[in-house]
Each structure stands twice: as structure tokens, then as C-alpha cells.
Chain A
Amino acid sequence: MEKFEKITGIAAPMPLVNIDTDMIIPKVFLKTIKRSGLGVNLFDEMRYDRQGNEIPDFVLNKPQYREARILVAGDNFGCGSSREHAPWALADFGIKVIVSTSFADIFFNNCFKNGMLPVILPQDQVDLLMKDAEKGANARMTVDLQAQEITTSDGTVIPFEVDAFKKHCLLNGLDDIGLTLEKATAIDRFETMSAQSRPWV
């Protein structure tokens, strides 16, 4: 997995609440057996009309946000299905950081597995970042994972919390499976024990 350290980029505002995984990547694009290439279909039904033409009003179609790397979003981002295609599509488009007051659990976890950082902040701070994002292409924010800080375009610094283990894995680009396999003896031990206590499993 690619390491995540620090990102400076344009932030796109999406104040809508409950942005669900069907909006992020509609199911017609779940038929792939690959992980890559989903970026063009990110937010497909909001982004294109039925003929495949871009809908100019949609935030990521506006010239100033086409290169966005950060998304500032309304409450409960990523609710809905477990599809990892949602973070795959965001990452493929170039979004590495999403800021909201809350995220759906599975989506939140899926981000970390793909080298992306979801940041939870209180409402007033999300509002402040939303305002900053609305300034468009001049508003480049910096997200520094090591320091756990977001710096807005005018230099305001907003600290954020992140799980220590997840941070460690992101900073070092660590692969979960490799880490877990180092604990293979503990898993063996558990299996032996549970074969005795719960033989029906």
C-alpha cells in the first residue's frame, strides 16, 4: 500500500448529508473484477446525464474542483453498502482525504485499507473547512497526518484525532494481512482451544 504522509491540494465542498455508497459508485460499476479504473464513474449519476455528458453544476465538474484531492462533506458520509468500490473510485479520481462530522463504519474502515484518510471533526470546524473549500482553486489545504493537522488556505490550523494503529499503518504503508500473519501462532492456539470448547463450529 502507498504511504500517506502529507497532502496539499484543492478541497471540494459537498455539504449534502447522508451521501451513500450508491451515489458514490452506482451498482452498474460493481461488476468489475478489478480495483482500478473506477474514478471516471465516481458519483456517476450526479456527475453525468443519461447521454454521458457532464452536468456542469456538479462540484467535481466545475473547473476549479476537477483536481480535488480532498472532499469536505455533510454528515454520515459513505452510508449504505460495504462496497469497497466506493473508496476505490474516490482514490482513483484522486481524493485522498474526506472530512465530515461522521462516517458510516464500514466505509470508514475501507478508506484506511486503501491508503486514504477519513477525518472526523466537530460541526463548526467542518463548517469552517466547507467555507474554505467553497473558495475554489485558490483554497489549497494541507492535511498532515504525522502532525494530525489540517491547515486551511488562510493558515488556520485545525487538529484532528486518528486511531494510533491506523495512523501507523497509513504512514508506513503497511499491509494488514502481513501484520496479522506475524501472529499466526496466536491464531493456531485459538483454533486448538476453540476446537475443544466449541467443537461444533
Chain B
Amino acid sequence: MSPKTLYDKIWDAHLVDQQDDGTCLLYIDRHLVHEVTSPQAFEGLRLSGRKVRAPEKTIAVPDHNVPTTLDRAKGIENEESRIQVEALDRNARDFGVHYYPVSDIRQGIVHIVGPEQGWTLPGMTVVCGDSHTATHGAFGALAHGIGTSEVEHVLATQTLIQKKSKNMKVEITGRLRPGVTAKDITLSVIGATGTAGGTGHVIEYCGQAIRDLSMEGRMTVCNMAIEGGARAGLIAPDETTFAYVKGRPHAPKGAQWEAAVNWWKTLKSDDGAHWDKVVTLKGEDIAPVVTWGTSPEDVLPITGTVPSPSDFKGGKVEAAQRALDYMGLTPGQKLTDIAIDTVFIGSCTNGRIEDLRAAAAILKGRKIKEGLRAMVVPGSGLVRAQAEEEGIAQIFIDAGFDWRLAGCSMCLAMNPDQLGEYERCASTSNRNFEGRQGYKGRTHLVSPAMAAAAAITGHLTDVREMMAETA
């Protein structure tokens, strides 16, 4: 048998049918659903009199629209948002899928809830009407976003029509330096390959620096595979993965656990497997980074300066000029001189407990800059509860942060958590597109530790300097 990549193996294990032209039908093990991209799909089922084929493999949770203020039990003020969440309530009930309503402590961002509850397991196929489904690839699951027509297709058939992508290997060798995190890895990869660098490929992240990451760090890396253009990112499962999964509510138990682990251990790319594209970065070379522009590829080390459009070629020249205008920045300006108004810590990229711990480690005993708005939104109700138990919530509150309930919040600003016009934000989310966090809002993507550092000084800051102070 010819050597296979991890992607090849998962693909082969889920192949239901293959046409002569290479179009395949792939079986889907887990289907995650949220309120924004599903109403039209459920409506489609109703109109055609179809059922959900495998409701026991379908998990729904509202996250994008839900308010994150402490009084949210009062209900959702915005009528359209409320209708969308109510539609999910009704659809989950009518079609009998697993559901975590807003009132459930397990509610949170769909990509945080799935792994937390043990729904996401190695070797699975996982889809969701959401591009950051790539997150689940951290478990060695083939996970990617789909459109609403495909959501309906998966609901009705538990399969997806697919063509195989190419294999891309992203290796991060060596070890990370202090102050450098999973977020810096994933942004640096996008900086190196561009937002279209992974188009048509499934990325497997490997190398010592990836192995050394916790599961949560790995989720951060895979989460942004989509910003690099890849539909999915993968990391081969190992002992770190098994230890994370074991004992979760929907993880296998007893003899099934043994059988599962035995199979999971085979899920790695064989020596000599074919790669269509290979990118290698040295872990030691990665610095804490920030984005300066309006595309996630606009990445620079925090020690850098704002570039000039003439540093680029082709269509990117105009895009860079537009980005500078939008962001209100001048070429040559030091990144650490950029003053910010707001800090947002949260999202499916960086809303897990370790992210909050990393930010709290910097914030401990300090206060945020006067006049700055700072918000922390845990990725799930359980993350929130744990942070309260560990005393992290109190550190945030003492520092001057607003301590919120779980949801997507200012990551995409569909609920009232938004940036005002020209408001500048250091954000742990994943997209700095124009208007993403609010009309004319300006986003700089950073790691949780960097966000905390910026909150204290009121400008983009090299977190390593603060770590030296603490040490």
C-alpha cells in the first residue's frame, strides 16, 4: 500500500461512494449547527417533507446572536436576532437534535462546546455551517465549514458531496520562545503563505512546536487554517489528545475507549507520503505578532513598523493603501505606538480557559489604562464557571475588564457588542476585515497575552517586556 497522509486516511475511512469523475460522497460523523446559517436549511427540509437523517449526530447551539450581558435571561432585544435564536429553538425541538439553549450552562461558541462535550473525536468528519469548523482539526478530525445548502444536504443525508483536496504540510520546527503562543504561530503561518496560500488544500500542522502545544493551543492553530485559505487544518492525535478527550461526556468509555484509542494511534501521516505543498517555519523565529491591516495576512512582529503600499506588488498595492486608509495608519509608524480604545478577549480562537489564564497572568495586580474599554467573553458557560472557580474572573474584574457571558460577541459583532466608528481594538479573534467588529471599526489581531498587555498600556505592546517586569 502506498504511504498515506492523515487526511488520506480519514478521507478513505468515510468514503461512501465515488463517481468516475472523482466526485465523492463522504460520510459525516458530527454535524454542528448554529442559528445564523441553519434556518434556511431546516426550512428546506420542511418544504420537501424530509427529516434529519441522524439527529443523534447533530448538535445545535445558539452563539452568534446571543447577548453576553449578565441580564440576558430577559431575552434578546433585537427582533431579528431573537427570531433567529427562536427558530433554532424550534428547529432543534422539531427535528430532535441535541441542543444547548441559551439557558444551559454548557451553551457557548459552537467550536468550543463540541470539543468540551467530547462530541469531537479523532478520526471523525465534522462539519458546521461556519468556516471556523477548522478548529476541530486539532483532534485529528477532518473538520470544515460548509454553506447553508450543504447544511441542508448533511441534515437530510448525513453525507457531503466532495472532491478531494490537496495535501499541504506546515511544519513548525524547534521550540517557541517565551511570550510566543499558538496564536502567533497561526498568524505567522498566514503571514508567510498569504490568505490564499492554502486554497484547495487541507493543511496538516506538524513539528516539535506543534507537538509541544496543549489541545487548546492546537485548536487555536487549526481555527485559523481557514484564514490561510485551507478548508481544514489537521494535527495528528497523540497522548495529549487522548488525555484531553478521556472522560468527556460524549467520549467513548470502557472497551470502546480502548478500541478507539487503538485506531486513533494509527492516524498519522506515513513516512514517504506525498505532499503537494510544504511550508516550514522555525519555532525560534516566531515573535509575538499583530496585524496592521484588514486581511489576516497583514501580519508583522510587534517590533515592526507599519509598511508602505510600495512594499507590495500587483493587486496588493491598492489593497494595502486601502487598508492603511481604513485603519488610519501611516507607513513607518512603530506598531507599539498605535494607541487603542478597546480590548476584546474571547472568540473560538482564544476563548478557552488557557487563553483566559494567559491574559490573567499578565493582568494580575495591574489595572487597564484609564478610559479604555475592555471586555472578556468566555467561550462557553463552563469556561466561565471554571475561570470563576480559579479566581481568574476576579483578576479580570479587578483590572477593569467587563466579565461577560458566553457567545461570539465582538468577534463578529452581530449582537450589541460592537466597535464604534474608528474605534481601535486589540482583539483575540480571527478576522480583521473591514467592518468585522463594527462599522468602520479597526481591528488588530493578537494573542490573549498581547491583548492583556495592550489593555494595561493603552497601545499595542510587546508582551515580553511586561513578562520581564513580572519575573
Contacts and interface: CB of A to CB of B under 8 A. Distances in A.
Interface of A: 15-18, 20, 22-23, 26-28, 30-35, 45, 50, 74-76, 79-84, 87, 102-106, 109-110, 113-114, 163-165, 176-177, 179-181, 183-184, 186-187, 190-191, 194, 198-201
Nearest to B295: A18
Nearest to B316: A17
Contact of B17 (A32, A84, A104, A186): A186
Contact of A35 (B40, B297, B433): B40
B234 interface: no
10 contacts: A26-B435, A27-B413, A79-B196, A80-B131, A81-B130, A114-B149, A190-B16, A191-B158, A198-B260, A200-B259
A200 B199 contact: no
B146 A106 contact: yes
Contacts of A31: 36, 65, 78, 80-81, 83-84, 414
Contact of B315 (A15, A26, A179): A15
- 4 closest A-B pairs (Cβ-Cβ)? A200-B252, A31-B80, A113-B149, A33-B39
Interface residues of B, number: 79
Contact of A104 (B157, B199, B315): B199
B436 interface: yes
B412 interface: yes
A195 to B, nearest CB: 11
Nearest to B30: A201
Contacts of B81: 31
Nearest to B16: A190
Contacts, number: 182
Contacts of B297: 18
A33 B17 contact: no
Contacts of B157: 177, 180-181, 184, 187
Nearest to B86: A33
Contacts of B156: 177, 180-181
A176 B318 contact: no
Contacts of A32: 80
A8 B229 CA distance: 31
Contacts of B195: 18, 76, 79
B69 to A, nearest CB: 18
Contact of B414 (A16, A30, A105): A30
Interface in B36-82: 36-37, 39-40, 43, 48, 50, 53, 57, 64-65, 78, 80-81
A201 B436 CA distance: 36
B27 A194 contact: yes
A114 B147 CA distance: 11
Interface of B: 13, 16-17, 19, 21, 23, 25, 27, 29, 36-37, 39-40, 43, 48, 50, 53, 57, 64-65, 78, 80-81, 83-84, 87, 121, 123-124, 129-131, 133, 144-150, 152-153, 156-159, 161, 163, 165, 195-196, 199-200, 229, 231, 251-252, 256-257, 259-260, 263, 295, 297, 314-316, 318-319, 322, 412-414, 431, 433-436, 439
Contacts of A106: 131, 144-147, 231
A2 to B, nearest CB: 14
A28 B413 CA distance: 9
Contacts of B48: 177
B77 to A, nearest CB: 13
Nearest to A46: B434
A71 B130 CA distance: 25
A103 B229 CA distance: 9
A114 B150 CA distance: 11
A50 B83 CA distance: 25
Contacts of B145: 81-82, 106
Contacts of A33: 39-40, 43, 83-84, 87
Contacts of B27: 187, 190-191, 194
A85 to B, nearest CB: 8
A201 B19 contact: no
A198 B21 CA distance: 29
Contacts of A74: 315, 319
Contacts of A23: 433-435
A102 B158 contact: no
A5 to B, nearest CB: 20
Contacts of A34: 40
A196 to B, nearest CB: 11
Given A34-B40, A82-B131, A114-B149, A16 B435 contact: no
Contacts of A16: 315, 318-319, 322
B292 to A, nearest CB: 15
A145 B285 CA distance: 48
A163 B161 CA distance: 13
A183 B17 contact: yes
**Interface-centre pick from B36, B43, B124 (highest chain A CB count, 10 A):** B36
Contacts of B435: 22-23, 26, 45
B149 A176 contact: yes
Contacts of B57: 201
